[in-house]
Chain A
Amino acid sequence: MLGIVRQKMLGQSLLKIRPAISVLRSYSSAAKQMTVREALNSALDEEMSADPKVFLMGEEVGEYQGAYKISKGLLEKYGPERVLDTPITEAGFAGIGVGAAYYGLKPVVEFMTFNFSMQAIDHIINSAAKSNYMSAGQMSVPIVFRGPNGAAAGVGAQHSQCYASWYASCPGLKVLSPYSSEDARGLLKAAIRDPDPVVFLENELLYGESFPVSDEVLDSSFCLPIGKAKIERKGKDVTITHGVGAEICASVVEESFAYLDAPVERIAGADVPMPYAANLERMAVPQVEDIVRAAKRACYRAVPLAAAA
């Protein structure tokens, strides 16, 4: 999930690829703090306020205020016609959401976690992703599928899978994976406004994290462009990217082999179902020390190779 790339010192900046192509976008100076949860909630609120075609559907999104409280207050504000509690039937309600999008509404379909999206994946791919292509442009599908994705804390194998590479492999889908509150706000707004199906991969562990947000970010018109990279931090020795590592590695090697001073590496989840025990879970997921070690390898700092596990 992380690609480590070493480049020649050509004054090139560190790129955070989100998904591909590089465009510089500066990081505005901070004033207020906002959690990712608040960022998502405010983005949903503002987009529902701005466009009456936007509605939210999913398990416990209404009366329960959201399984992770992302949709808190929305039922009260927008009523049961626009915030809909569904039964536990992902195939059914995802299909219903896509049908509503065919007709021109703008559904936001929440999966309590993306593990449950597998029950609905036929609709996400066959009914949503491919429709604009198959209909030569008649059937655009302005739907957002959102929810927590990937590792959490101790939730076991069936609740910890990362679907980034699954969905990112499907042409017709736009797949986003925000990090900070600014990312979450700007990208969710963009996703809701986008005429194409968007898979919006959040992470439960980030919901409670606070990030600084500028006034620009807090404005209701704030929106981030989909498909542009953001430079989190500039540097000159090594590039660390986030995302679907294998795809990034392949792209970089294909496009920029001549610039590379070291092999591209991946730091990713271990090739095992997620174990429950705390020590094993830690080993199954990238840790800071793994990234540091790989970065040093790319920069030819002596890092002894450990013996096999």
Chain B
Amino acid sequence: MALSRLASSSSRSADLLKPLCSAISLRRPISTDTTPITVETSVPFTSHQCDTPSRSVQTNAKELFTFFRDMALMRRMEIAADSLYKAKLIRGFCHLYDGQEAVAVGMEAAITKKDCIITAYRDHCTFVSRGGTLLEVFAELMGRQAGCSRGKGGSMHFYKKDSNFYGGHGIVGAQVPLGCGLAFAQKYSKDEAVTFALYGDGAANQGQLFEALNISALWDLPAILVCENNHYGMGTAEWRAAKSPAYYKRGDYAPGLKVDGMDAFAVKQACTFAKEHALKNGPIILEMDTYRYHGHSMSDPGSTYRTRDEITGVRQERDPVERIRKLILSHDLATEKELKDIEKEIRKEVDDAIAQAKENPLPESSELFTNVYAKGLGVESFGADRKEVRAILP
């Protein structure tokens, strides 16, 4: 990875870090240095029907630390969720994102909260990148009141509308037409903002995607379709599900970019490029070449359809968190110990949030009947025994 440093004025940022490290209560990134640093993406971009963005990405120490911290937090959060599921504190389905963190973090760095994001059910980290808290995550996973959906949604149904995060969807592919609808509304409202609709390689074959893309192209909607290609749709490898697994080309008339989804800077660059394109020219497809370490869900060991060697190989060669760690170290922005201290802090943050979530109560019984409608009209609704449980819908 080629690196260059444009300013030498700041002394080793590590000197600044030493006294700060010892402050136990510190929870923000250590360095706030915004001196520009240029970083090269791991591989060049490949394009379909458009130019490729430059491999050189502008960043700074502050962003590097933010990336490291945010991805390490997401990683720790997902691993903690694995343990909670095995302890039966999380029920039903739980689809973990560890390995794919660079997509969430890189995307967020390229956009604002005016831009919309919608995704499928592997949504915990996307929710966090949009501003969701650890408590909201763990409480929702455990079905408690403090959850982002007050315990009524569960793992697959996280939302944060005030940050333009529209969920959280369980039906494969459905989120893509919905995302194009968000883009339609943004254009209609003249908001000068875009929508990122995320989907997997399994969903890429859904017909509704092509229907929505066709309309988006006809109407020049600011829709960015992001295929998070982790190469497996549940247990089915991409070559067994798609005649053409070149997902960035599948838009045909719509341009596309293939991106190293394990490189947060490549993701950031691609999303910046895509936003600019979509605002002027309508829909574009981004294919993020990424990988999930866990199986499809907690019910899937993830090892019957791929080899353990493949999984460890990706972890060793392409891990997104390790990539940033190496960048920080090679730029002398911190020592190994300092980064480990950040990770220890993160671990504590996650543990504290879990402890708090565990203490949080289950929803009140009356919540069974709330939010069926936004406006209830005073209609009566019933429980399982109509004579025993009935309520006026609020």
> A residues near B, CB below 8 A?
59-60, 63-64, 67, 85, 87-89, 91-92, 115-116, 118-119, 152-159, 265-273, 275-280, 283-287, 290, 293-294, 297, 305-306, 308-309
Contacts and interface: CB of A to CB of B under 8 A. Distances in A.
Nearest to B150: A277
B236 A64 contact: yes
Given A116-B171, A277-B152, A308 B390 contact: yes
A267 B389 CA distance: 11
Interface in B366-394: 366-369, 372, 381-392
A89 B207 CA distance: 7
Nearest to A304: B388
A20 B54 CA distance: 69
B258 to A, nearest CB: 21
B389 A283 contact: yes
Interface string B315-337: 00000000000000000000000
Nearest to B169: A158
A46 B206 CA distance: 33
Contacts of B385: 267, 286, 290, 293-294
Interface residues of B, number: 53
A271 B381 contact: yes
A265 B382 CA distance: 13
Interface stretch (B42-50, B98-106, B153-161): B153-161
B362 A277 contact: yes
Contacts of B242: 87
A152 to B, nearest CB: 7
Contacts of A290: 384-385, 388
A309 B241 contact: no
Given A88-B172, A156-B157, A278-B91, A284 B207 contact: no
Interface string B207-218: 100000000000
B260 to A, nearest CB: 25
A286 B203 CA distance: 34
A60 to B, nearest CB: 5
B28 to A, nearest CB: 33
Interface string B236-259: 100011100000000000000000
Contact of B92 (A85, A267, A276, A309): A276
B8 interface: no
B367 A275 contact: yes
Given A60-B235, A115-B171, A278-B362, A154 B389 contact: no
A287 B384 contact: yes
A92 B203 CA distance: 13
Interface string B84-112: 00000001110000000000000000000
B380 to A, nearest CB: 9
A-B complex: 7 closest residue pairs judged by Cβ atoms: A154-B91, A154-B92, A276-B154, A277-B143, A158-B170, A277-B151, A64-B235
Given A87-B233, A290-B385, A306-B388, A277 B363 contact: yes
Contacts of A87: 202, 205, 233, 236, 241-242
B305 interface: yes
Nearest to A64: B235
A85 B239 CA distance: 12
21 contacts: A59-B234, A87-B236, A87-B242, A88-B202, A115-B170, A153-B92, A155-B93, A155-B154, A156-B154, A265-B387, A268-B386, A270-B384, A272-B368, A272-B369, A276-B140, A276-B143, A277-B144, A283-B365, A286-B384, A308-B392, A309-B368
Interface string B291-318: 0000000000000110000000000000
Contacts of B140: 276
Contacts of B179: none
Given A276-B92, A309-B383, A64 B305 contact: yes
Given A64-B236, A115-B171, A157-B157, A280 B91 contact: no
B187 to A, nearest CB: 27
Given A156-B154, A265-B387, A272-B372, A88 B241 contact: yes
Contacts of A283: 365, 368, 383-384, 389
A155 B390 contact: no
A87 B239 CA distance: 10
Contacts of B92: 152-156, 159, 276
Given A87-B202, A87-B241, A293-B388, A280 B365 contact: yes
Most buried by A among B140, B171, B392: B171
Contact of A280 (B93, B151, B207, B234): B151
B152 A280 contact: yes
Most buried by B among A92, A156, A267, A268: A156
Nearest to A284: B368
B152 A276 contact: yes
A4 B363 CA distance: 31
B154 A308 contact: no
Contacts of B383: 270, 283-284, 309
Nearest to A269: B384
A156 B381 contact: no
A270 B144 contact: no
Contact of B207 (A59, A91, A277, A294): A91
B367 to A, nearest CB: 6
B173 interface: yes
Given A267-B384, A270-B382, A156 B93 contact: yes
A295 B384 CA distance: 14
B201 to A, nearest CB: 10
A64 B305 CA distance: 8
A250 B14 CA distance: 78
A271 B144 CA distance: 21
A268 B91 CA distance: 23
Nearest to A1: B384
B100 to A, nearest CB: 18
Contacts of A271: 372, 381-382
